[in-house]
Chains A and B, each alone.
Chain A
Amino acid sequence: MAALCLIALALISLFIGPRDIAFDSFAAALQAYDQYDAEHVTLMQIRLPRLWAALIAGGALGVAAMVMQVVTRNPFADPGVLGINAGAAFFLIVGTTLLGRADEAFVAVFAFPGAALMALIVFALGGGFLRDINPIRLVLAGVAVNALLASLLTALVLLRQDSLDVMRFWVAGSLSQATTRPLFEMSLIALAGASLAMALATRFEAFALGGDMSQGLGVRPGRVLAGALIVVTLCAGAAVSVAGPIAFLGLIVPPIVRVLSPGDLRLGLLMSAVIGALILLFADVLGRVILSPLEVRAGIMTALLGTPLFLWVARRMSPGQVS
């Protein structure tokens, strides 16, 4: 079902935009690509990379969020809320500003240490090493880290005015610059992260049972957490490198997956990738048509779509009410 929706939406995303393209020319472009035909060029050079970027970023964020929510047992765990995306983006912007924009593929490497560092910091501050991960504390730690990075970023932008345009388009996640991003390398990295998540899935599940139970199953918490950290770093870093920090996508995906396929985490991870890609693609298409010809960035669309969900979870979590 979800896969079918994804395919349908992917096709729609190819044909909708400032220049509407008929289905025939897609077939024609596939069979005989004509580099002087404007429709063919739009399709193959702009829309297709953009679609690919949405699939990678959405899928990778879906997987990262699912792993985070399982391991921390926390419905708020999302690479955006917890500052991991912001960390990756911050390192990217610093790298781009210091080195110039000459080589985006090289600069993209910066996203990974950024994501890993923030994941570690927020996890530690959230009480992760004390074996006591409190959801609210984790969220507030994420808020604080996000605010800290935002302050540093503002300082950087005001010192180096040339970085403002870089920042404006990085900070709000967007798919419009997909053509200049190292899509192929990042899909490999995201794929590596997702495969690792699949390989570790049973251990994540055992770890999530908590304390004695997971020890009885022979889980070594340190290794599982390190594995989760690598998964999150690879997936979130790859997603930020192609699309910038996409907010709240990770909040939306896991609840849907849990409804659609409760139980086996491996199936759940697969579903997360599909649903994540689906939602990001939906956000992108919606952002393109909603205020056309103005484009609302996909990252802003996901933030606006995700907030009601965040509020709903916040209300449900409140003490005194059955959750």
Chain B
Amino acid sequence: MIRWAILIAILVTSVCLALRYGQISVPLDVLWNGLGTNDGPGSLILGTIRGPRVAVAMGGGFVLGLSGALFQTLFRNPLASPDVLGFTSGAGLAVIFAVSFNLAIAPTIAAVAGGVFAALVVAAIAYQKGVETPAITLILVGLGIGFFATGLATFLMTVLPTSSALEAQRWLSGSLSGSTWGNAGLVCGLGSLLALFALAQSRALGVLELGNDMAKGLGLSTEASRWTISGTGVLLAAVGVSLTGPVPFVALIAGPLGAVLSGATTVAGRLLAGGMAGAIVLVLADLVARVAIPNTQLPAGVFTGLIGAPFLLWRLGVEMRKGRV
């Protein structure tokens, strides 16, 4: 329980820090006074400037982290997260595609379509009849699909005029600068619905973790559960990507980080902790991106990339020593 309290405390502190600091720092009591009023610097910061941004970071980080924890548990491999598996690249490509051809599609819908499509392609290629697909095959195939999507996105970038290319580049690297309360509402609404659905699957997930034969013996229809859980994970990731852009590695880091911080042993606990860790990572990454260089806003994705890449390498080392990769 204490560790959960610490996890919640870290999240609350991160949110407070993210609201307090930026191009101008605002003392917490000013923020507090701004709560519930309509004028003054506090309410301006909370209501228009940093409030929506932090809310989207929190919600987006949560769904990405939850999605990562879901896939890592499902495939019993800490490297199997939606960014490594190519789903986020697919979602990102779809949004860039919609932007460059001026399609009148909401980015959320484009992202979901792209994410689902990428997931289906990965599944179709990695699927082998009669064998439980090894996580390694999925990871390699996912990386390949990710490369392909990135290649196409780069191509679209070269065709766009410079102004929209800059916008696209910013979006592709994962930025929260355009966040509105509408975005925040969307991610929180859809996100909590999907999160509840994911948590409802945690019992099936726990049984699946015991291995396919065991799960079948316990009376679970394994194929159906796998598809439902994967589908939920893809949707979660796509909702996150549509609002934050394909921020690299949040989903990858969140699961293990949450598990370490919370010490959770149950599947539901790990999923929840993964989501919270994702929220913490994204809120802090966005904060650092805003204050790292004065008068310049970097995309949060720059920092999740800088943290995530060494993390991936470290995990790789650990997995190697355990002889699992």
Contacts and interface: CB of A to CB of B under 8 A. Distances in A.
A35 interface: no
Contact of A318 (B137, B152, B170, B320): B137
B312 A140 contact: yes
A174 B157 CA distance: 14
Contacts of B143: 139-140, 143, 310, 314
Contact of A307 (B79, B131, B144): B144
Interface in B301-317: 301-306, 308-310, 312-313, 316
A127 interface: yes
Interface stretch (B48-56, B226-234, B254-262, B292-300): B292-300
Contact of B158 (A155, A172, A314): A172
A171 B136 contact: no
Contacts of A171: 154
Contact of A172 (B139, B155, B306): B155
Nearest to A164: B166
Contacts of A154: 169-170, 173, 298-299, 301-302, 305
Interface string A278-306: 00000000000000001011001001100
A314 B302 contact: no
B147 A310 contact: yes
Interface in B120-152: 125-126, 128, 131, 133-134, 136-137, 139-141, 143-145, 147-148, 150-152
B62 interface: no
A303 B299 contact: no
A51 interface: no
B140 A317 contact: yes
Contacts of B154: 171-172, 300, 303
A314 B126 CA distance: 9
B136 to A, nearest CB: 6
B102 interface: no
Interface residues of B, number: 53
Contacts of A151: 173, 248, 301-306, 309
A315 interface: yes
A31 interface: no
A158 B289 CA distance: 12
B162 interface: yes
Contacts of A321: 128
Interface in A215-257: 247-248
A174 to B, nearest CB: 8
Interface in B198-232: none
Given A168-B157, A310-B144, A314-B140, A144 B313 contact: yes
B126 A315 contact: yes
A137 B162 CA distance: 37
B196 interface: no
Given A144-B312, A144-B313, A300-B154, A136 B140 contact: yes
Contacts of B310: 144, 148
Nearest to A148: B309
A109 interface: no
B268 to A, nearest CB: 29
B72 to A, nearest CB: 15
B249 A307 contact: no
Contact of B125 (A158, A248, A303, A311): A311
A286 B105 CA distance: 31
B22 to A, nearest CB: 17
B5 interface: no
Contacts of A152: 302, 306
Contact of A158 (B128, B170, B312): B170
A164 B170 CA distance: 11
B144 A311 contact: yes
Nearest to B296: A159
A193 B28 CA distance: 61
Contact of B159 (A150, A294, A304): A294
Nearest to B172: A154
A86 to B, nearest CB: 12
B26 interface: no
A180 interface: no
The winner among A157, A159, A307, A317 for most chain B CB atoms within 10 A is A307
B77 to A, nearest CB: 11
A320 interface: yes
A212 interface: no
B155 A300 contact: yes
Given A144-B309, A148-B306, A304 B136 contact: no
A97 B309 CA distance: 25
Nearest to B155: A300
23 contacts: A137-B316, A137-B325, A141-B316, A147-B249, A148-B305, A148-B306, A152-B306, A154-B298, A154-B305, A155-B302, A158-B296, A159-B298, A168-B157, A168-B165, A172-B157, A297-B158, A303-B150, A304-B151, A307-B148, A311-B144, A318-B126, A320-B131, A320-B134
| CB-CB nearest 3 A-B residue pairs | A151-B305, A303-B151, A314-B140
Given A148-B305, A304-B151, 13 more contacts: A144-B310, A144-B313, A144-B316, A147-B249, A147-B305, A151-B301, A172-B154, A297-B155, A303-B150, A310-B144, A315-B137, A318-B128, A320-B131
